Structure 1
Amino acid sequence: MPRQIVLDTETTGLSADSGDRIIELGCVELLNRKLTGNNLHLYFNPGRDSHEDALKVHGISNEFLKDKPRFAELVDDILQYLQGAELIIHNAAFDVGFLNKELELAGHPALAHCVERVTDTLAMAKELYPGKRNSLDALCDRLGVDNSGRTLHGALLDAELLADVYIHLTRGQKALLIADEAQPSATDLPLLPIDLHALVLPVLHANAQEQQAHAEVLAQIDKASGGKTIWRTLPSI
């Protein structure tokens, strides 16, 4: 499994082609589906003010960004961090579009030349939950991911939440992977004859206390079901 980077950006607006720029980059690293703590979190001076609507979303003031470096000043460090990774992004077209514009302005080739691939969790969620809301907040609520600290959008926090969401979305894949890895091939198994005729399995009977506890549990289940438990209709053995 390649190294995975869960990535999110905040921007001055919605259109990179119209001059909007990235103001925050947040990345968290996953190795073998576990957070490593090797995160990347940067703010940038975009050289322009954020749109009013964007400010309402991320709350990052123009004044705060004035003394931050330009994207081009840190581009080499960013590309080194992302090199060869699988990027996991929610609504990937948006973030990749902005990253490619920043790379173009800094004189670098597009992101695809640097990373292994890009996985869009929004596309994954739409396939798993067709017709439902699949925003990051909606997925957090649906999958039981605690997003109570998300009053405003922030690139690092959103990347951390998305990492948790991604693990939940792909949990079945993990189970299959573990099962595949756990099963030895036929050639790995020793072909030794085993005589089971002399094998005697001990029978452990429940004691009185265990039988009473069992009866109490059955009575509780029977009461909760309104007397519809199936064992009431079966003959005693």
Structure 2
Amino acid sequence: MRQVVLDTETTGLDPKTGHRVIEIGCVELVNRKLTGRHYHQYINPEREVEDGAIEVHGITNEFLQDKPVFAQIADEFMSFCEGAELVIHNAPFDVGFIDWELKLLASPRWRRVTDHCSVLDTLALAREKHPGQKNSLDALCKRYFVDNSQRDLHGALLDAEILADVFLLMTGGQTGLALTQDGDIRGDEGARGLEAESAAGPVRRLAGDRQPLPVVSATAEELEGHQTMLNLLEKTAGKHFW
């Protein structure tokens, strides 16, 4: 199973009022393990970034001037995502922006996101698991003990990496880390993005050598207690389905 954890940064809140995508960050999971492959790109939105948005992500108009436009990176980005399940926190926001970019592109190859990928919204999932509680990415980091200390400003690649850890913990799995950079995917202009200084400083990443999330095995006593309960249920109900 291939999943791509995705996040974007934008010039503002609503693509229908002319706002555009300015950063895309993705990390790849295969069979619920991080592979080390990722896609990252800054994008020239061909318009001004709102001041309120800059306060959130720190990406300035000056920094974006020499970056490629979406049409130049669309094939590379969509090819990275094609066929995967996209894992996105508040998916309607990011998918809405990408769909708008694809509509402006008017490419015969790329249509709507859901024509090429399935989508899992981790915000909707978190609300089901934790009703009545805060379910922002920062709140989930606190709940699942995921380090988000570098998240003083939003950044698409950092947020995608953090969401991958949160998603794996929230859905009961573990993460495996591939420490090689051989699988990095990034555009020609965006290749500078992973090393370049932005208005907010270098692109922030989670530590590549961080320890995999722990798998806690049941003790012999816990296994014995579990089996005792199963035997009791079977005796009471007559049969079971596990």
Asked if TM exceeds 0.5, the reply is yes
Greater RCO structure (CA 8 Å; 6+ sep): 2
> C-alpha displacement at 1:49, in angstroms?
1.1
Indicate the RMSD between aligned Cα atoms, in angstroms: 1.4
Structure 1 runs not aligned, ≥5 long = 175-237
Distance 1:81 1:173 in 2: 23
SS at structure 1 position matched to 2:17: coil
Shift of 1:118: 0.2
Residue 13 (structure 1) aligns with: 12
Partner of 1:114: 116
- Counting only pairs closer than 5 Å after superposition, residues 166-205 of structure 1 correspond to structure 2 as 166-171=167-172
TM-score when scaled to structure 1? 0.71
1:53-73 per-position Cα deviation (integer Å, ceiling 9, x unaligned) = 100000001100000000111
**Aligned to 2:5, what secondary structure does the other structure show?**
strand
d(CA) in 2 for partners of 1:5 and 1:131? 28
Distance 2:124 2:32 in 1: 19
Residue in structure 2 matched with residue 140 of structure 1 by the alignment: 141
Q: CA deviation at 1:172?
A: 6.6
Change (3 A) 1:172 1:74: closer
Alignment length (residue pairs): 172
**Do the aligned partners of residues 49 and 93 (structure 1) sit closer, same or farther apart at CA in structure 2, a change above 3 Å counting?**
same
User: Contact 2:32–2:174 at 8 Å: present in 1 too?
Assistant: no
How big is each residue's C-alpha offset from its partner over 1:214-236, in whole Å with a ceiling of 9 and x where there is no partner? xxxxxxxxxxxxxxxxxxxxxxx
User: Per-residue deviation at 1:78?
Assistant: 1.0
For 2:56 and 2:48, how far apart are their aligned partners in 1? 14
Distance 1:54 1:173 in 2: 34
Question: Equivalents in 1 of 2:89, 2:65: separation in Å?
Answer: 28
CA positional deviation for 1:114: 1.1
**Cα distance change, pair 161–173 in 1 and its aligned pair in 2 (3 A):** closer
Partner of 1:27: 26
Distance 1:106 1:49 in 2: 19
Contact 2:33–2:174, Cα closer than 8 Å, also in 1: no
Contact kept, 8 Å, 2:32 with 2:173, in 1: the verdict is no
Q: Distance in 1 between matches of 2:116 and 2:81?
A: 7
Paired residues of 2:7 and 2:26 also in contact (CA < 8 A): yes
Change (3 A) 1:142 1:70: same
SS at structure 2 position matched to 1:139: helix
* Structure-2 change in CA distance of 1:169 and 1:41 (3 Å): same
Compared CA separation, residues 42 and 172, structure 1 to 2 (3 A): closer
Match of 2:86 in 1: 87
Q: Give the aligned partner of residue 78 of structure 1.
A: 77
Task: Please report how far the alpha carbon of residue 173 of structure 1 lies from its aligned counterpart in structure 2 after TM superposition.
Answer: 11
CA shift for structure 1 position 32: 1.2
Cα distance between partner residues in 2 of 1:46 and 1:94: 17
SS at match of 2:164: helix
Separation in structure 2 between the aligned mates of residue 161 and residue 79 of structure 1, nearest angstrom: 22
* Whole-angstrom CA distance in 2 between matches of 1:144 and 1:173: 13
C-alpha distance in 2 between matches for 1:173 and 1:50: 38
Write the distance in 2 (CA, Å) between the matches of 1:25 and 1:172.
25
Residue number in structure 1 paired with 2:124: 123
Q: Provide TM-score, normalisation by structure 2.
A: 0.69
Distance 2:25 2:173 in 1: 27
Q: Partner residue of 1:4? A: 3
Q: Give the C-alpha shift of residue 37 in structure 1.
A: 1.0
